[in-house]
Amino acid sequence: MKNLRESLLLLSMAGLLTACSDSDSSRTTDRDEAAAPPLTVQALEPLTLPATQFGDRAIRFDGDLSDALQARLDSGAVTVSLTQNAEAIPVDIVDGRISTSLTLDNNINTIRLTLNDGNSEVMREFTVDFPFVSLSTFQSADVVVGQTDFTQINSDTTASNFSTPYGNAYIYEGRLYLPDYGNNRILGFNEIPTNNGASADFVLGQEDFISANSDGDGLVSLGGPQTMQVVDGKFYVITYDAHRIVVTDEVPTTTGQLLPSFVVGQASPEANESEDCSAATLNSPETFIISDGKLIVTDTSNNRVLIWNTLPTVSGVAADVVLGHDNFTCGDIDTPTVEPITLLPVNPEEAETDEPLSIGSPGGVWSNGEMLIVADSDNDQLLIWQSFPTTNNQEPDLIIGPEIMVAGTEDTAPSESEEPETLEVTSLDFPYHLYSNGNQLFLSDFENNRVLVWNTLPTSTNQEPDVILGQSNLQANTENDDNQDGQSDRVDNGESETTRVTSARTLSNPAGAYTANNQLIITDEGNSRYLIFNGLDTSSLAP
């Protein structure tokens, strides 16, 4: 999120009046005596715009000015001009009030308002961010990280390779952090790569780029890192195999182990227990997010979501709210609930039972402090709370999945005899890590080998996505299938065998998505790589 930036510039104009040298120079006219004082930037202070806009890209820009300035505006003595990203925007002036409507472009909008009275000019600049990445279905990625090109599949332990990466990428202060789950490390890049096969600048969790040691034990263990976030200068990273969130006092930018200040999910930074299930423990957590001062964690192997209403500052702090169970004791945590939830908010009167909400191996989570979205992975659905839950096992307001009707198809189940496999209705199959920029929702549909994109946050049950990446349509779901024939692509390796290949637009078990700077970064776990998609240079796909 970007803070509001206001640049106040005072520009002097040429053409200043010069004194006359004749006898009339000592006289002043009535016009001179009535001349208004120069314009000042203070005149524009009543005008404000949000630093970041979510939801509706159409906004109003208006404000009342001082009485003196209003009179000059009404008389035409002062002229007004407005530009948005260097394009002129018409401005209405009614009773001294400046008013206009703006339709925000994707991402950064530079808005400049200028007043001119012929002798002086003042300008105020606003920057408004509308986070949005315009994408098209089956779009090709622009850059691959982890492989030398888009066709290779390697998983060596080097500065430029990954082994089964899970979780979302993360960008902070221009640096890119990529979790490398299988190598128990995070690779850091000082800049966003623009060429294929880039090498990392530093590694976290290991002492060098060729080590991958960790069994989840110890103070500095980074066993199975997946998700990261920086809040108030502290670096948070979830470690699946060590059953905790590690918190450091500084954001790491150089190679080395991470020394935790404290941890979440364990009693101390040295602990990594998973047997106990309580309000203060975690068991193979996948994802977390910090929003509006709250910490939300998917406690995956305990089949629940834990919520801390305030950020912990020491190890062993208990959560305040649990979703997926009625209490914090978990019950039978060895048997995940894999049957779809029957108590659907869509049509509660048709619910077969009144059983409470149960969650199976939750994967991704996202919140803006109001809405909460959880990937209920084993139940093949997304759970959406439009108002943030405040009580244990509070029911969601919306559910997306397991099946989503596709426009123009019949409401029939797929035939088991169909080859290649097609879907009359598209079914989520292990929805996994997810992310939202506040305007769009990105979901890794793991077993369907695709990433689904909703260009607005869902407001209705089983809302159809707008964009599919990794497949050409909602019925296709084969991994690495560039020609969309329902078969994984392979090439002859010259040894009477074939080798599977990838392309710039195919996926295999995607396990993460993240957006920033008009780019989408997908974690392509099955292909041991990250794909960077640049937003299209058009707003035609935006709502």
Q: 25: helix, coil or strand?
A: helix
Model confidence pLDDT, tens digit, residues 221-274: 789 999 999 999 999 999 999 999 999 999 999 999 999 999 999 999 999 888
Q: How confident is the model at residue 407 (pLDDT cuts 50, 70, 90)?
A: low
The stretch 158-169 carries a mean pLDDT of 98
| Three-state DSSP class for residue 422 | coil
Query: Would you say residue 503 has pLDDT above 50?
Result: yes
**Stronger pLDDT, 357 or 425, i.e. the higher one:** 357
Section 106-111 average pLDDT: 96
Q: Is the pTM higher than 0.75?
A: yes
Extents of the domains making up the chain:
7-130, 131-154+428-543
Q: How many CB atoms lie within 10 A of CB 119?
A: 15
Q: Could you give the CA distance from residue 88 to residue 135 in angstroms, rounded to a whole number? A: 27
**pLDDT grade, residue 138 (50/70/90)?**
very high
Buried residues in 98-113 as b, exposed as e (16+ CB within 10 A)? bebebebbbbebebbb
The pLDDT of residue 357 is 78
* pLDDT at residue 217, rounded to an integer: 56
**pLDDT band with cut points at 50, 70 and 90 for residue 38:** confident
- Confidence (pLDDT) at 496: 64
Whole-angstrom distance, CA of residue 397 vs CA of residue 149:
43
| Predicted confidence band of residue 94 (pLDDT cuts 50, 70, 90) | confident
Q: What's the mean pLDDT when you consider all of the chain?
A: 85
CB 104 within 8 A of CB 510: no
pLDDT 10s digits, 365-403: 999 999 999 999 999 999 999 999 999 999 999 999 888
pLDDT at 333 over 90: no
Position of tokens 């005899």? 417
Hey, what long-range contacts does 341-349 have (CB within 8 A, 24 or more apart)?
341/376, 341/379, 341/381, 341/399, 343/395, 344/399, 344/461, 345/395, 345/396, 345/397, 345/398, 345/399, 345/461, 346/398, 346/399, 346/461, 346/462
Q: What span, in angstroms and rounded, lies between the C-alpha atoms of 535 and 543?
A: 15
Categorize the per-residue pLDDT at 298 as very low, low, confident or very high, splitting at 50, 70 and 90. very high
Per-residue confidence (pLDDT) for residue 215, from 0 to 100: 56
Q: What pLDDT, on a 0 to 100 scale, did the predictor assign at position 348?
A: 35
The span from the CA of 298 to the CA of 305, in Å, is: 5
pLDDT score at 47: 78
Q: Assess whether pLDDT exceeds 80 at residue 323.
A: yes
Which tens digit of pLDDT belongs to each residue from 199-227?
A: 999 999 999 999 998 755 567 778 999 99
Query: Are the beta carbons of 380 and 402 closer than 8 angstroms?
Result: yes
Sign of CA dihedral 492, 154, 151, 445: positive
Q: Please answer whether residues 501 and 491 qualify as being in contact, where contact means their C-beta atoms are separated by less than 8 angstroms.
A: yes
pLDDT at 26 over 90: no
Q: Are 178 and 131 in contact (CB under 8 A)?
A: no
pLDDT of residue 219: 74
* Type of residue found at 163: S
User: Fold for domain 7-130?
Assistant: Immunoglobulin-like (2.60.40)
Give the residue with greater pLDDT, 333 vs 95.
Answer: 95
What is the mean pLDDT of the segment spanning 277-287?
97
